[in-house]
Amino acid sequence: MKWQELSILVSSEYVEPISYLFGRYGRGLSLEDAGPGRMLLRTYLPNTSKRRMAQIEVGTKLVQVIEPLAKLTVRDLEEADWETAWKAHFTLLNIGRRLVIKPSWISYEPSEGEVVIELDPGMAFGTGYHPTTKMVLEALEDEVKPGMRLLDLGTGSAILSIASIRLGAESSLAMDIDPIALRAARKNLRDARLTDRITLVRGSLPHRTAAPASFDLAAANISKKTIEERGPALYDILKPGGKLIASGMLADQADETKSALGEAGFVTERVAITDDWAAITLMKGAGPS
């Protein structure tokens, strides 16, 4: 069987949509740093997979309606060992001061104080390359304390829950409504051997498994609209003084989200901006305004 390598150069904010597309219809996914704010993504297909190729071509064209992308490049491979080919392009990802994300096939001896998260690429949203995911992970470095209980709303690949446990949290409740994301998250939790500490549920807030005032910290890396709509429910599930790390909104939308969450009772502590995206850290205040 002959194989083809598909590659495309994208800005960092479009890494996850294209990763999702490549991961669903291609065989394997690699990401390579191509300079500030740019990543080169690759996937592989047998040259007989005409329907999967068409799905990828249509998907990239749909993204191009929103944001100009480089041309999708297709290269014939001389050898059929596509698995070795795509793994060769994947490297470690360092985030914040201590976090290191690595695929399972790379051996790595962490330096003192480093926290390693083993997560294979191509598993739904949450590769660690999108600016919002990076900013939430950086905020978790600052906010997670030993023994904390986390709520992870819109968990995707479960990367935030896994990182929180590795940083010292006691447990996490990870929620998502997307069955594809849930399947990916379930595999990642099994591989990480964290199924006893991270509970995965299908749904959103409010939810019977998320009791009022029972979480120390919440992470919501989803969308501006969903964060604002779930603001009161997020306030409700946090303990007094608990914190929310919210991301998924553009930088010029941050003030609107801060205002909406302020009405729900949150007090903004800080706002981080990367590549036109924002992440907001807030504390549960005295009550809704």
Which tens digit of pLDDT belongs to each residue from 3-62?
888 999 998 778 878 888 887 888 877 777 788 778 888 888 888 889 999 999 999 998
Fold of 3-87: Alpha-Beta Plaits (3.30.70)
252 φ, ψ (degrees, to nearest 5): -80, 0
| 137 within 8 A of 163, measured Cβ to Cβ | yes
Amino acid at 58: V
Tell me whether domains 3-87 and 124-284 share a fold.
Answer: no
* pLDDT band per the 50, 70, 90 thresholds, residue 221: very high
Q: pLDDT class for 123, splitting at 50, 70, 90? A: very low
Place of tokens 């992470």: 219
Q: Which residues contact 285 (CB under 8 A, 6 or more apart)?
A: 265, 266, 267
In 3D, which of 122, 118, 134, 137 has the Cα closest to residue 189? 118
CATH class of residue range 124-284? alpha beta
DSSP type of residue 106: S
Per-domain residue ranges of the chain? 3-87, 124-284
Q: The whole model's pTM is what?
A: 0.80
**CB distance 239 to 284 below 8 Å:** yes
H or E element, residue 83 = helix 82-87
